[in-house]
Structures are given as C-alpha cells and as structure tokens.
Structure 1
C-alpha cells in the first residue's frame, strides 16, 4: 500500500519526559515526585485491531508495535476507511481511586500535514473477538479529542482520559475498549487520515493503606496482660500499602497513633507521624508525664496516604509497672566471698551460687555473668535460684547479678567478689637458650593435689596428653620450628576429673639471616655505580641452613644453596639509581623457614643528560621527515659510548668522543597516532662492561598533515547531493610526492604536483555533514600524520 506524507527537512525535536512512555519496554513506571501518593503505570493494550469499510466482514488484529490506520486512505486496491480499537485490562485497578489518566499515542505518517488533526477517542463495549466494520461494538461515550501538537507527524500525542477510567472502574469493568477515529463528517476526507502508534494509557491510581499491624509497646508484642516497665514507652506499628511496587518506592504514608487510659477512652491523645515510604515500621514515644505507674492504657494506629486512610487497627492494652525489685543477695560455700588466699576451687571447677531477693513479692528470675549480668535463670515459687558457675581465671573474680520481675524491670546490680585458687601447673624450660629446630625438655609441676595427667600444646599444634608420675610431675620434649614468638600451654587434671587453670611458657626465636656487601653497604651510604655487579653475602640466623631465598625490589624470588658453614654469596647488578630493598630468608633441610631479613642499599646514578634544540623536551616540534640532532652528555668520567632507542624502534649504539659527548641525527619516519604524537627517547651510558641507568627525553611530533580547501564545499556548506566539487590538497611535510585520502570508507592516492598540491573531485551522495581524511607520503616512504576536512552538503529539496 502507498501512504502519502509531506516531505520535511530534518530537525531536532525536544522530547519531554512524558514522551518516553511511548518507548518504555515494561508497562510499569513510578512517579519520581516524593510527595505524590499512589503509583503510575503505563498500560499497553491487551488487544489491538482496526476495521476497514472496504472489507466490512474482515477484522485486522495487529501486534503491540504495529501502526494502525484511522480515517480514509488509499492503496493500490482502492479507497479504505478505518477505525482502530484498543482493549485494556482494568483488573489491577479494582477497588482503587483513579487520580489521573492520560492516553498516549503518536503519528507514524500523515497524509496532509496542512490539514487539522481530527482524532477522537470513544469508549465502546469490549468485543469478545477483534471486531469488523460490520460487527463494530456498541459506542458509549466520547472519551475526548487528542490534544493538538505543532509537530507533524507528531511522535507524541495525548488526551485526558481521567473521567473515562474513573467511570469504568466505578462500574466494576474488568476491561476497557477505546476506539480511535477521525471525527464525524471528516472521516471520509482522505487528507485528514493518519497512521498512528498503538494507544497506551498512563494511569495514576491509589489504594488506601492497609490496616497497621504487628503493634508493639516498649519493644514487646501486644498480648493479654502485657506489663511494661516505663511511663514513656515507644509505641510502634508496621505500615504497608498495596501501591508498593517491586523494585520501586511505594506510597508515602503517615501513621496516626491514638492512646488513652483504658477506663477513660474520652481522654484520647493523637499524634501523626511524618510522611515516609511504605512499607515501614513507624514509632511514637509517649511524652513524659502522660502515663503513670499502675495505669492501664490502650492504643491503636491507622495509616493514611495523600488520598485515603485505613481503618483503625485493633487496640493494644498494657499496664505500666515501674517499681524495680530489690538487689539480690548472693552466697556460696564453694566460693565464699572475700579475698582470702589461697582461695577456693580453681579455674574451670564449677561451684554453686545461691541467689535471693529478701522482701520482694514479684521475682521472675535473675540475670548473672562473669563479665556482666547477661545470662538469665528463672526463680522458683519462693523467689530463689541456684546456679552452677565455673570461674575462668584464678585469683580475684567477680559475679554480677540483677533481680528481674515479671514486668522485666531489673534491680540495681550486686557484685559478688571471691578468690579462686591458682591451680595451673608450673613449667620449667631445660634449654632456655635453644635455637629454632633444637629440642627443649619441659618439666610440668602440679599446682593442685592428685594430678594424674597433663595436656599441652606447642603453638597451634595438636594437643598431647601425658600421664603424671607418682610425684605428680611429667617431662616432655618439644622442638620449636617457628621463627619469632613461640608458646607452650599446659593444663592438668585430677583423678576425680577436676581441671586446672592454664599455664603458659613463651619464648622468642630470632632466625632471620644477615646480609653484607662490599660494593653496596647495607643500611645506607653511597654504593657503587649503577650497573656495577655487587656481591651479597648471606649468613645464617639459625642452625642447619641449607639454602636462601632472596629477591630485590619486589622482583622474582631466587634460591641459592648454602655452603657447609651455612653462608652463601650471590651477585646482583643494579639497573637504576637510589635505594634498593633486598629481602632474604633461609630454609633448613627439614623445611624450617626463618624470618625474613630486609636489607637496604643505595646505587649511585650516572644516567646521562640529553639535549636537542630541534626536538626540545615536552614540546611539540618537527614532524615526519624533519631531521633532528640530539646530544648525549656524561654524568661520570670515563664514558665510552651510549645505548639509545626511540620508542617503537630498535636499540642502537654510538661511540662517545674523548670528552664523553656523542651526537646523533634522527629523522621520524611516521607520525605515532596511537601515542598522539609522543615519542620517548631512552639513553644509557656505557663504560667498559657496565651500563648506566636510563635517561628519558619525551617530545611531541607535529602531524604535518596536508591542508584541504574547497570553494565548492567550504566547511560552512555548499553544493548538494550528487553535485561534484573540487578539493585542493596542500602538503605540509617536506618531500611529499603523493597524497592518501579517504572518503566514504574508500582510500585512494593522488600524486602531488611540483608545487606540493593536488586537486581531487568528490561527489557527495547525501546532504548533511561529511568528512575527508588526508595524509601524505614521500618517495622514500615517510608518512605524515592524518587529519580531516569537514564540510556540509546543503539539502536540495
């Protein structure tokens, strides 16, 4: 079919945020304005079709992205008159208030933009099947006219459908069908016909918040007979709203708290919270003086958004009880109070502690603990409790205890102080000066009676158990293989199964090797010249060393075998001046590893200096084909030559004069576009067999790309599609013999004239902006950098 449309010059359109609705891939949007309640969804039709008076018994269902005709239009088959039908699912809006609803469509083509826009939207009955012209559904009322727009075709058009949606939802409809047509008597006018995109509806709706739930008072869930221990409780409730959408913020809601004395409901106090996004637990603190001890109160909560409120929640009742129980009394025959030595029991040996609160008539239990009253034990009917507690340390100990009543009120804290006997064994080290890997004989002596065994551990190794002799002692041998701090722990046990406290023996094993060098003094001082091989001697810090592992400046680790006396020598050649860091550790044949030694030394720099008037450092100059002179000067007597390289090229050498100075000439062969013209020259001096650290000289090449001019197609615009034009290329690089140019992804060459210019002819195929890319070459293959010429081709309409 052929659709006529007015040809227009391309122009930029400012598309509003609402226009985005036409291209949103999902049908759910949420307003970004925090103060707006409810949610906004962009609903796409569940069914789209159009009818054709030329084929009155045929329905034309289409997809969600297809365009549909409205009005009278022509094709090769003749004249057609069409109306479009769009059906929407309204089930998500049942029981909700419709706040705003806007229909959104757009024009994909227009027969005559000089004619007025006459698109109407009508509400119809919802057909069971896509309708035909002959079976068109019943029309109810006009929903409205599409708002006008100065654009044509207009990619975004809208109309107000608020009342239409409100009425459909109020009538309990599960679906809504809207018909688009050209208005009444204009429907047969071919000049007014359009092809439009499927109608969508942006619907802002709102449901009332849910009744608040999960009410709490003073952090406790509401329950019959609830007691709280404060006159300023925190009341809270969980507030939710049906308008919450997954992945997005839902409604902003408030919670209104109402509370009153249970026997005086008219003395009601209400407080409304700030607005916040649901779901949210919202809290309110009853102000000072509002409640009193012994009073019974009730509270209820309701939620509201900008448009609707929930019902009040079921009430929550509670009674205020702020009387604290008395502090407890603590007694124990196993661990009597006081600091008398040597104490009783021992670490890990449990004892019975009796807890009571004389004179109290409401005791639920007690909180107790060695570091604070954190563990709870319930009291019996008489308000008493007995706990079993095993101290964890010897000498001075404390037990902290509080009484708790049935409300949860706690008493002042009682501190029970007692002394625990030191039962830990004693450890005697038979080889206190032993080195790593050397055995140590340890003797364990009991710290309590009737010891039958000891359990000990070296560092993080597995524990071992040995029996005690008839005198209660035991002897074991340990062989520490860990550098640095080592620890032996030991406990004992009696024949009755009582444990002792823990004893510890700690000792330090220094195992790191030492490093020395004649050429490079360790720890500071001026070292040899960079490039001078240095000998480094490693000496052991523990017995049995068979090899050393070393590295410099975080480089790769290397291994060297130790001599019979445990020493080793390595040679290292520096490549840069300044401080160096060497790390060394040793190993024995059985795999014992020493601590690492860090050695610092300094190498003396003698990097040369680089000078160039043709290519000054950090400046832009020269370019491809432009020779430059570079002078290398020594930083130390005796320099015989230099090793140098220009970035991207092979390394070269030059012999120095008697004064140690050398001069080279260099001609760039191309422009390094991948480095934006930057070139880095690296130079090292040589003196006999040693090489200095490097000096760098960085600079930027000029592109020397050809210039382009054209009177037919100046940058400001000219010519038109399929109109040839001449362009003059002028060389900037010395010795240019040809130009290389690219246009429309085709590369060509043209010879340069004796005056260094060439003229080419190009024929643009379309209007708008164009780019011509140009570079040049010499007969020897030197290439300039590439530049471009931008020109604009006028539209010829």
Structure 2
C-alpha cells in the first residue's frame, strides 16, 4: 500500500477477530469440574478468563455467629433441613480480588454458576444475585455485609432442573468498581420472597466471574531507520529511509494468541517539532509483528536531522505511550575511492620481486580526502575478504599474507559512518616465487628404486628444507653452506608421484611450495589366446580359457585380478614375473578383467583393464502345453518342453524349474524333450514359473535360456441357487447349499474357509461336493476354496462372492 509516495510494507489482507466467547454448556462443564476455574493473580489477556473468588462462604441462621466454607465446590442457599429435621436458612457470599485489573478496560463480565441440587423443581426459581459491601471478615448470619443492590434474578430458559448453567452480566458493576478503585467485589446468592420455604432451596456451584478485560499495548521497541537499529549519532544514507518498529501487547491468551495491533509512526525535523507528520496503518498485525514504513520522496533532504517515534493501538482502541524518539541524520554523500599503499608489496603490475608466499605484508588504506570514513572492505585475488576499522584520520592497516607466487590484487572500498560504499580501488602487485628448485639424479628410476633429489634455494639465507613424498609424513633436513640439501626418496607406487618441498630462512621466513612430479610406468599387461583374440572372435560361454599377466615393474611377486567387478583373486608370479589364471565364463556378452601387481615389499602397480566378448550358445526352449508368457495348464496338468541346441555337439541339458537342477541327455539330433507336472499353484509369484536351461557339450555348460510360463489356478468353481453371486438373497441366519466343482484331475478333497475356520469335504465321483453354509451378516460374503489330490497336488485358491440380503 502506498500513501503520498510512501510504502507501508503491510499486507492489505483483512484480518478477522475470532470471537472470544464460550458456549454455556462448555462453561457448565468447566464449573462442574474440580479446579476448572483458575484463579488469576494477574490477568493473562483480553480473552475471556474465569476468575475464582478469593473468599467463598455461606451462612446459617441456626448458627448465626459462624461462617462455613464450600463443600465439594457447592453451597446451600435458602431453607433446608438437617438429618435431625432442624431447619436452616443459608446465604452464599463470594469475594473477588479486583486489584490485578485496576486501570484496565473491562470489556465484559459475567457471573457463572450452576445448580447442583434443587428441593422441588415444580417451584419457580427465586435465586437472586446481590452486590454487598466488602466484609471485613468472613460473613456470618449475625454479622452479614450490607446488601447494596440487587443485580439479577438468575433464571434459565428451558425445563432443565437442576440447571447446570446460570449466568448474568455484571459488566457495569465491575466497571464501576474498577473506576472507583475498589480492590474487592463481594456478591451474594440468596432465595427471594420464599427464602424460608423448604421447597425453594437448592445447592449451587461456587460462583465465578467470566471476565474479559484489556490492557493497553506495550510501548513499541526495536526502532530502526534505514535498516539500522536506532542509536546515538545515527546516519542514514537515503532520503527515503524505511522506518521500523516492533509492537507487542501484554495480553496473551492461554493458547499463545493475543490482541491484533496497529501502529502509528510520527516523524519531524529535529529542530522543527511543529512540522510533525503522523501515519496510522490501516490494517492490524499480530502481537510481536514489525511494522515498516518508507518515507515518501521530497520529505527528507541530505544533511537534515530528523526524529521519529511510534505507538501501538489494540483492537479495543487502547493505545500505548509514544516510544522514545529515534534521531538520525541523512547523509547521501559517497566517500572517495580509497588510496592503497604498501612498502612490503609495492604496486607493480609487472614487477615480480616482492615478498613471497607465506610472507606477510602491510597494506595501508587512506580515505583520499573523505572526512567520515569509518572502515574499509577488501577482497583478495585468492578469495580472502574482510573489513578493517579506520583509526584517527580515517586510515587503516591490513596485514595480508599471499598464499601463492605471481600476480595478486586487492580490491578495496571505503565505508563512511552512514554505511555508504565508495567506488572500488584495485591494487595490483606481484609476489616473488621463492619455491626451492628440485633436481632428480635418477629421473628414469623404477618403482622401488631410490632417487637422489638435490634441493636448491629459491630465496636468500635458506637454512632448512621440509619435504614429503605424495601423502607421506613430512621430513626436515638442514641446508648446507651453499644453501642446498640432498634427500633420497624411494617411490613405492606406480603412476603419478609428487615430491612437495618448502624451505625456511634464518629469519624464519617460509618459501612457496615446490612440487616435483614424476610418473612411474607400472601397469601390467594382459593377454589371452582364448578370450582376447586379435581377429575379434571369442570363446563360447562355459569354455575354459586362460589369461596371462606380465609385469610392468620389477620385483613383481603376485597379481590381484577380478572379472566384471566381482570377487578379487590373488595368484603368485613365476620367476619371470608372469602368471597365468584359468577362467570359465558362465554368461555370454561383453566382459572385462582387471589386474594389478604387487611386490614383496608391498609396492602396488596401477590397474590394467582388458575387454573381451563371450559368445552365447544358449539352447532354444518351446512348449505347446505351456506357451511362453501365457497362462496355461495348472496343478496336476502335465506338459512337455522341448530343448533344441544352438550348435553342434550338444550331449545334454541342465534345466531347473526353481526346485533344483536336473539333467537330461540329448538325442542324436541334439534335442531333448521333458515332461513336467506342477504340484501346486505358486501363489507367491502369482502363477509365474521360470524355467532355466543350459546345454552341455561334453564338460562345457552353456549360458542360460530363461523360459517363463504362467500356471493356471484350476481353482474349484461354486454354484448356489440359495445364494447366487448376482442379486441379494437369503439373510443372516438363513442356511444355503453350495455346490463345489473340482478342476484339478484326480482331486479327492475340497478345502474351504467361510469365516476364519478351515474345513474339508470329500470330492464325489462326479468331481463335486455340496456344503451348507449359514451367513451371519448381511452384505458381501466370501467363500474361499481349493482342491487337492491324494498325492498332494493342490489347486490355486478361488473365491466365491455372494451378497446376503439385509432383513427389513
């Protein structure tokens, strides 16, 4: 929302206040529960709260000098008889503490009680509520407080007797008492005209007051201008600062909610308070919200000093006091580009002759004529960044340590008291390369062979070198008189190797890091006359073949190899360093072998990879009884399967229906035919059976052919004239007959379940059986059944659904 060019930052969505009322039945339930009315030492919110009396007593004309407390939260009112038949007349008094509510708005007040027992429900109710003077002590019949005014006759609509909820409004009474600064309010319950009549008496619940009150909001806090929290000597870098304040209210409901609040902002030139401008937000926000308002264009000017304040108003119109004012000065001037100097690393875009990696340097930042610079922000070429505070005169000093040699740059900006940033100064310089020089006396050395390295200084006064090979532990050696040192390294791995070297001077200055790289050929070679042929051909699956490994480094004693990323195997090398292994592929297709070598000292080579193709000679499988991927047959139904060879020389087949491998010899033409009878329906795979077949050529076993079939259930079928599967029939408790028909050849028994109990019935000569079932429930009913033979062949389970009529 905008006003005169300013933005409020407040959503324009209308917020609805939730009514703070409880229905009478809920109040009665609270009253009937021991301890349901919580005494409030300090009011919690503008929401409705139940206030218990701080003093509850009843009096008895038969004992005129005594005062009696409530029993089980109830009190007698009117005339009643004791066990001896003696008559008593009683009145009930309730004193409430109003001190916590002084100075607050009373929105509503209502007494709440209920009848626990009534002498005669046929008599009209004469229960009266009175205000009395505040008693000095607990009231007695003889020393009762003076009745000041009758407030109400407590009645209830409807025939309920006892009436568990009796209530009347006393808002005016409580408001007048608060206005008169009365700390106590005493109320009395009594019977009216027939107070001495036995049939008008009753016992009532302890009287409570449902009180809705309100306190003014808190003074707004967390004032900010231009995104900066208010403080002394605050400067803002815009003529349209955003003013902010957080509003809150002391009234918080039991569930954590609170009043809806609006804010009003006021601002004015600090030296002209008469030019005050106020803006009230149109829509409320919840307790603890931050209100934001952007000052319109043309109101504030550069160099002007202004003040603003805020106050909060709740939904009842109660307002807080104005907050302490927040003063700020508008300063939109941008500081000048800073000046950067350094004697350690002079500005030299093309002069690589200063310092070195790890050697700190001092850089001075100057304001370049700006008189309000308070800090500088910088970024380095290598990613370092930070902020340094300015001292007297606006200058600052930064100690910066380059991490590498060569071209470097610092980017620096001045920041003034307002937070305005200057344009960026780019300071360029070069860092000297101080890394040692490394010379290898044995550059062609192999794995395990020592190399003598000479380390020469890259800077003056070097006294020691620290070096390490690859990821090994560092070692330190002293430099000789000429500044050099000699170390010996023995690489233990093939491939890329790196020696890292740094030096240190007599002044404890570090050098940059030298990295000496060398590569050691170590990869073994792989060959195979069976699987890796030059003409691209390959062996059949199941064929035994060999691989030969030859060393790519000296001293090889063993090889570690695997195929297709599988289990690793270790084979010892022969005297000439080679090794030969045997491999029998069980599957066809593209495959790979990996191998690395190892010496007696544990030095390992790089890994070599070889690729080869294994050719398939999986057999062909067919069946007219059980076609592939189709449902056919079933338990007890025999089917034939024919295996045909992929090539010549096949002597037999290995096949498996999932219950273990079996063998069958091939005929003269290389084919074979088997018979298979499923013994049960595989419910766990929904009828799917996967036949796996490999052919044999002597000792060679081919790769696998998978032939998938779906076995029919052959579950029994059901018919019933009494309970057909279409249309409701019968009813709960009405028996009906069902005819079961088997479909598995040779079935001798039906197994059925109607409910939870499983039962059996013999199969008759005609393959059927009749059973009697009595449904117990109307609606959907289910009969589950299967059949089996004496040999244990079991059909799949079927289900017969039938609807049972609902009795009228």
TM-score by length of 2: 0.71
CA contact (8 A) 2:45 2:252 kept: no
Query: 2:335 aligns to what?
Result: 325
Query: 2:480 aligns to what?
Result: 469
> Aligned-pair distance for 1:776?
1.1
Query: 2:395 aligns to what?
Result: 384
Aligned-partner Cα distance in 2 for 1:670–1:390: 81
> Aligned-pair distance for 1:274?
9.3
| Secondary structure class of the residue paired with 1:674 | helix
Structure 2 residue 772 is the aligned partner of structure 1 residue 761: yes
Query: 2:46 aligns to what?
Result: 96
Distance 1:454 1:772, change over 3 A: same
Structure 2 residue 358 is the aligned partner of structure 1 residue 348: yes
Within a 5 Å distance, the mapping from 1:426-445 to structure 2 comes to 426-445=437-456
> Aligned-pair distance for 1:439?
2.0
Aligned-partner Cα distance in 2 for 1:772–1:405: 89
CA contact (8 A) 1:294 1:321 kept: yes
Which of 547, 560, 563 aligns to 1:549? It is 560
> Aligned-pair distance for 1:166?
11
Query: 2:714 aligns to what?
Result: 704
> Aligned-pair distance for 1:779?
3.4
Distance 1:298 1:586, change over 3 A: farther
Query: 1:260 aligns to what?
Result: 267
Within a 5 Å distance, the mapping from 1:205-354 to structure 2 comes to 213-236=221-244, 258=265, 260-263=267-270, 268=277, 270=279, 291-299=300-308, 315-339=325-349, 341=351, 343-354=353-364
CA contact (8 A) 1:43 1:88 kept: no
Structure 2 residue 520 is the aligned partner of structure 1 residue 513: no
CA contact (8 A) 2:375 2:414 kept: yes
Aligned-partner Cα distance in 1 for 2:264–2:443: 74
CA contact (8 A) 2:358 2:403 kept: yes
Aligned-partner Cα distance in 2 for 1:533–1:167: 107
CA contact (8 A) 1:624 1:670 kept: yes
| Secondary structure class of the residue paired with 1:364 | strand
Aligned-partner Cα distance in 1 for 2:693–2:169: 83
Query: 1:663 aligns to what?
Result: 673
Distance 1:758 1:332, change over 3 A: closer
> Aligned-pair distance for 1:466?
0.9
CA contact (8 A) 2:336 2:422 kept: yes
Distance 1:695 1:270, change over 3 A: farther
Aligned-partner Cα distance in 2 for 1:213–1:434: 76
| Secondary structure class of the residue paired with 2:393 | coil
Question: Which one has the largest radius of gyration?
Answer: 2
Distance 1:792 1:497, change over 3 A: same
Distance 1:405 1:781, change over 3 A: closer
| Secondary structure class of the residue paired with 1:448 | coil
> Aligned-pair distance for 1:125?
4.7
Within a 5 Å distance, the mapping from 1:528-547 to structure 2 comes to 528-547=539-558
Aligned-partner Cα distance in 2 for 1:588–1:169: 100
Distance 1:241 1:260, change over 3 A: closer
Show CA shifts across 1:191-214 (max 9, x none). Answer: xxxxxxxxxxxxx99999987643
Aligned-partner Cα distance in 1 for 2:606–2:287: 59
CA contact (8 A) 1:771 1:790 kept: yes
Number of residue-to-residue matches in the alignment: 663
Aligned-partner Cα distance in 2 for 1:760–1:205: 77
Structure 2 residue 602 is the aligned partner of structure 1 residue 588: no
Aligned-partner Cα distance in 2 for 1:370–1:458: 31
Distance 1:724 1:234, change over 3 A: same
Query: 2:572 aligns to what?
Result: 561
> Aligned-pair distance for 1:585?
2.3
> Aligned-pair distance for 1:604?
0.3
Unaligned runs of 5+ in 1: 1-32, 50-63, 65-82, 100-122, 147-159, 173-203
Structure 2 residue 790 is the aligned partner of structure 1 residue 776: no
Moved more, 211-220 or 402-411: 211-220
> Aligned-pair distance for 1:89?
4.8
Distance 1:42 1:547, change over 3 A: farther
Aligned-partner Cα distance in 2 for 1:587–1:165: 98
Within a 5 Å distance, the mapping from 1:14-163 to structure 2 comes to 88-89=36-37, 94-97=44-47, 125=112, 131=116
| Secondary structure class of the residue paired with 1:490 | strand
Query: 1:688 aligns to what?
Result: 698
Distance 1:509 1:666, change over 3 A: same
Query: 1:480 aligns to what?
Result: 491
> Aligned-pair distance for 1:675?
1.1
Distance 1:398 1:132, change over 3 A: same
Aligned-partner Cα distance in 1 for 2:669–2:260: 88
> Aligned-pair distance for 1:551?
1.9
Show CA shifts across 1:258-289 (max 9, x none). Answer: 46344467564758699998877676655665
> Aligned-pair distance for 1:360?
2.9
CA contact (8 A) 1:46 1:87 kept: no
Distance 1:205 1:434, change over 3 A: farther
Aligned-partner Cα distance in 1 for 2:691–2:14: 60
Aligned-partner Cα distance in 2 for 1:583–1:675: 38
Aligned-partner Cα distance in 2 for 1:89–1:784: 70
Distance 1:340 1:701, change over 3 A: closer
| Secondary structure class of the residue paired with 2:392 | coil
Unaligned runs of 5+ in 2: 1-12, 50-109, 129-152, 160-164, 179-211
Structure 2 residue 721 is the aligned partner of structure 1 residue 714: no
Distance 1:650 1:363, change over 3 A: closer
| Secondary structure class of the residue paired with 2:684 | helix
> Aligned-pair distance for 1:163?
11
Which of 397, 405, 414 aligns to 2:408? It is 397
Distance 1:389 1:726, change over 3 A: closer
Which of 335, 358, 364 aligns to 2:374? It is 364
CA contact (8 A) 1:366 1:376 kept: yes
Which of 481, 490, 503 aligns to 1:492? It is 503
Aligned-partner Cα distance in 2 for 1:554–1:164: 86
CA contact (8 A) 2:14 2:283 kept: no
Aligned-partner Cα distance in 2 for 1:363–1:531: 84
| Secondary structure class of the residue paired with 1:382 | helix
Query: 1:725 aligns to what?
Result: 736
Distance 1:44 1:602, change over 3 A: farther
Aligned-partner Cα distance in 1 for 2:277–2:733: 87
What is the RMSD of the two structures over their aligned residues, measured on CA atoms? 4.6
Show CA shifts across 1:207-265 (max 9, x none). Answer: 9998764343344222122112234445555577899999x997998976746344467
Query: 1:502 aligns to what?
Result: 513
Distance 1:633 1:316, change over 3 A: farther
| Secondary structure class of the residue paired with 1:515 | strand
Query: 1:612 aligns to what?
Result: 623
> Aligned-pair distance for 1:36?
5.9
CA contact (8 A) 1:48 1:87 kept: no
Show CA shifts across 1:681-730 (max 9, x none). Answer: 11111111011111111121221111112222234333333332211111
Show CA shifts across 1:296-332 (max 9, x none). Answer: 3445567899999985765543222121222222333
Which of 421, 443, 447 aligns to 1:410? It is 421
CA contact (8 A) 1:582 1:598 kept: yes
> Aligned-pair distance for 1:530?
0.5
CA contact (8 A) 2:561 2:594 kept: yes
Show CA shifts across 1:481-529 (max 9, x none). Answer: 3443322222222222222222221223343322222111179933200
Query: 2:461 aligns to what?
Result: 450
